[in-house]
Amino acid sequence: MVRRNEIREGEKAVAAPPPSDGGLVFIGMVHTPWTSRMMTPRQGRMDGPVCRIDIFDPWQEALSGIEAFERLEVLYWLHRSRRDLVLQSPASDGSVRGTFALRSPVRPNPIGTSIVTLVRRDNTSLFVRGLDCLDGTPLLDLKPDRALFTPIAPPQPGDFETE
């Protein structure tokens, strides 16, 4: 079952500090077929439904050149998730695991990350496969998949450091 923000047997919540160390701007919105958390996939799949990502003003021009990348990394804000659990029981069976050993949406900073395939761009919208989030999820960032990207900026000394 999806968590409706209850705390389950064995789970542990902490007194979380106020989330005021950094501020986010929502740069767009993700549209998916899933309007209920009871339907949303646990993980995206590359042969899953095509979803639409709309980019808000004034960020549209930042899409320039994105069509060159077959796969993108998408960061989004899991706006319905509680943020104060350090131990979670995903199977609701009393067994627990630390939040950082899970990809659960419940985390101190509920940022979801997915790798998606870019199907097409239509002006300020991108059509992609591979998402796993609720319809209406706020968008935080888009980047080329790290495996496809070579920095344009000249290398720096750290790029050659091994140990």
Residues in binding contact with its own copies, number by CB under 8 A: 88
Binders in 104-123 for its own copies, by CB under 8 A = 104, 107-109, 111, 113, 115
| Amino acid code (one letter) for 83 | R
User: Is residue 5 a contact residue for its own copies (CB under 8 A)?
Assistant: no
Question: Residue 77 CA to chain centroid, in angstroms?
Answer: 6
Least Å distance, CB 56 to its own copies, is 9
Query: In 10 A of CB 31, how many CB atoms?
Result: 17
Residue from 10, 29, 31, 140 touching its own copies (CB under 8 A): that is 140
- Reference 139, options 126, 149, 120; nearest CA is 126
Residue from 4, 5, 6, 15 touching its own copies (CB under 8 A): that is 15
Residue from 30, 40, 81, 128 touching its own copies (CB under 8 A): that is 40
Residue that the structure tokens 């630390």 belong to? 98
Interface pattern 66-85 for its own copies (x via CB under 8 A) = x-xx--xx-x-x-x---x-x
User: Is residue 29 a contact residue for its own copies (CB under 8 A)?
Assistant: no
Question: Residue 33 CA to chain centroid, in angstroms?
Answer: 16
Query: What is the rounded CA–CA span in Å between residue 143 and residue 75?
Result: 9
User: Is residue 136 a contact residue for its own copies (CB under 8 A)?
Assistant: no
User: Is residue 6 a contact residue for its own copies (CB under 8 A)?
Assistant: no
Give exposure, 49-66, as e/b (b: 16+ Cβ within 10 Å). eebbbebeeeeeeebeee
Q: CB-based contacts of 94: which residues, under 8 Å, 6+ apart?
A: 9, 10
Least Å distance, CB 160 to its own copies, is 8
Residue from 45, 70, 81, 116 touching its own copies (CB under 8 A): that is 45
Residue from 5, 122, 123, 156 touching its own copies (CB under 8 A): that is 156
